[in-house]
Chain A
Amino acid sequence: MSKSIEVNDLNVYYGSFLAVEGVSLKIEPRTVTAFIGPSGCGKSTFLRTLNRMHEVIPGAHVEGEVLIDGNNLYGQGVDPVLVRRQVGMVFQRPNPFPTMSIGENVLAGVKLNNKRISKSDADALIEKSLRGANLWNEVKDRLNAPGSGLSGGQQQRLCIARAIAVAPDVILMDEPCSALDPISTLAIEDLIEELKEQYTVVIVTHNMQQASRVSDKTAFFNIAGTGKPGKLIEYDDTTTIFSNPSVQDTEDYVSGRFG
């Protein structure tokens, strides 16, 4: 289930604009890795290159390679659709499909991957995924209610359930708690801790406490100035990054001296 990610010298472009330059890092399976850094430093952009979601933006392209268990995502003939089935994603704002019920939302990805699924299998998968996202007890009596009727935190956990229902190898989270209240945030953080047992989790966050609470390793991104490309400044164990970073910029950032 869980797979490693290896990124070698990756450049990301929007058209001719170099947005992220020269990122190389290695993420172990069954770990949580946090990307931190000031706004606009390219951490979300970089995260999106891990499942080729950046290609949704016209003109965005990359140089370099991203290996998931040794297979290059950007190799010849690799289908981005299949990449995204392996590497799931949770977005900044909860985005359950408003036209679907809670149950249908969980099954949305599965229905794409293999069209037919028996009623009993579907029910079992809904329960398993919602339990996996710590949402089952709250919604088990109203699986046919619209997904958009849930609270923000519940919606975000529904999105996580939807992502894990297709059994991906990696789960990417792009500031999953930035639109949520502290209680809901706590629920998601607990969930990330559990997801780690089965998946490789990569999370972008603006909240440094969150990074230090949930992650095993932390990557600090920064830009030299507006219009300059974002770079990976330091990548190390989370405890090292927050207690004893080797780069001055990192220390300034995590200690709150800028950003």
Chain B
Amino acid sequence: MTTAPATQAGPNRLKAKQRPGDRIFSTSTVVAGSLILAILAAVTIFLIAQSIPAFTAEPDDLKGADNFWVYVGPLVFGTIWAAFLALLIAVPLSIGIALFISHYAPRRLAQGLGYVVDLLAAVPSVVFGLWGITVLAPFVQPFWSTLVDLFGWIPLFQGPVSGTGRTILTVAIVLAVMILPIITALSREIFLQTPKLHEEAALALGATRWEMIRTAVLPFGRPGIVSASMLGLGRALGETMAVAMVLSPQVLISFALLTSTNPTTIAANIALNFPEAHGVGVNVLIATGLILFVITFAVNFIARAIVNRRKAFSGAN
């Protein structure tokens, strides 16, 4: 610092040399970044513009519901309920599988298992739907009737039991299998990134393998588990085919898991009704899509908030 302090905007201000490679790279990232915003904006504008007529739609276009909100209510409930049940099944299982792969399994088995899980993610949802109808539903039906016989006094398991096994709980299992691979794969990557130092710190304090995982691995992976679950939830919320194929559509709000009258989801409802919809009916379906969009957005927002709340303790610093 031997030269006199130059003013910020002075003519002699040093400028970093611009290299073509840097310029191309920075431009392409800016383009990519803006593109995603533009696409999102385009989708949002489309949804909102097309939805407006639905909010004043007549009961004729709403399958007899008084207004749009009465129509969409049960669908929103069904969507969230099915996705919530799926997440309830999938998250503990995924964490278990991911921990097994990352910390328990012998290396060769872990690799093979990792591939199998990834392969599961490549199965199209129609296949899962078919599997749900033809294999899973008949298979679980006896279990469901036993559940209703034994625990029918709990509202969740109230009868009469579905004779086909095609209930919301069966759908939740199909959805859980569908979202399992993504949650497992992400959790596994995060668990593998736990610093060796922290694992050793726990072990040196006299932690057993499980205690080490509980003190070092799981807390470190928590934000990642939340993110992975949200990606899974996003898929479960928007899943169309598997739900549409397994459930016979009903419009109602019911927490009962095992009866033959089950709430359907927004996505399945759109898929089933779109081919025969016309006029304002189309707008109504698009408006339900807008609601799904808002739900997904809200869920992600909440997840972000949860992760950020304990940012100082994340291990990123």
User: Given contacts A81-B206, A112-B206, A166-B206, are A95 and B315 in contact (CB under 8 A)?
Assistant: no
Which listed residue, A51, A93, A98, touches B204 by the CB 8 Å rule?
A: A51
A82 to B195, CA, bound (A): 23
User: Given contacts A97-B216, A99-B220, A112-B215, are A159 and B206 in contact (CB under 8 A)?
Assistant: no
Contact sample, A vs B, 14 pairs, CB 8 Å cutoff: A53-B204, A56-B200, A84-B203, A88-B205, A91-B200, A97-B198, A98-B220, A98-B317, A99-B222, A99-B314, A112-B206, A113-B206, A146-B312, A148-B317
Interface string of A89-116 (1 = CB under 8 A from B): 1010101111111000000110011000
B207 touches A81 (CB 8 A): yes
Interface string of A161-181 (1 = CB under 8 A from B): 011001000000000000000
B203 touches A53 (CB 8 A): yes
User: Given contacts A91-B197, A91-B200, A108-B215, are A98 and B313 in contact (CB under 8 A)?
Assistant: yes
User: Given contacts A101-B313, A146-B312, A149-B317, are A95 and B207 in contact (CB under 8 A)?
Assistant: no
A109 touches B206 (CB 8 A): yes
Which listed residue, B197, B208, B220, B310, touches A81 by the CB 8 Å rule?
A: B208
A110 to B98, CA, bound (A): 28
Residues on B lying within 8 angstroms of A by beta carbon are: 195, 197-208, 211, 215-216, 219-220, 222, 310, 312-317
Say whether A231 faces chain B, with CB atoms less than 8 Å apart. Answer: no
Say whether A43 faces chain B, with CB atoms less than 8 Å apart. Answer: no
A163 touches B205 (CB 8 A): yes
Residues on A lying within 8 angstroms of B by beta carbon are: 51, 53, 56, 81-85, 88-89, 91, 93, 95-101, 108-109, 112-113, 145-146, 148-149, 159, 162-163, 166
* Cβ contacts under 8 Å, A113 to chain B: 206
A85 touches B195 (CB 8 A): no
* Cβ contacts under 8 Å, B202 to chain A: 97, 108, 112
A34 to B201, CA, bound (A): 21
* Cβ contacts under 8 Å, B199 to chain A: 56
Which listed residue, A112, A149, A163, touches B211 by the CB 8 Å rule?
A: A112
A101 to B219, CA, bound (A): 12
User: Given contacts A81-B207, A146-B313, are A98 and B198 in contact (CB under 8 A)?
Assistant: yes
How distant is B219 from chain A, measured CB to nearest CB, in Å? Answer: 4
* Cβ contacts under 8 Å, A100 to chain B: 219, 313
CB nearest to B211 among chain A residues = A112
B204 touches A84 (CB 8 A): yes
A93 touches B197 (CB 8 A): yes
How distant is A98 from chain B, measured CB to nearest CB, in Å? Answer: 3
A96 to B313, CA, bound (A): 11
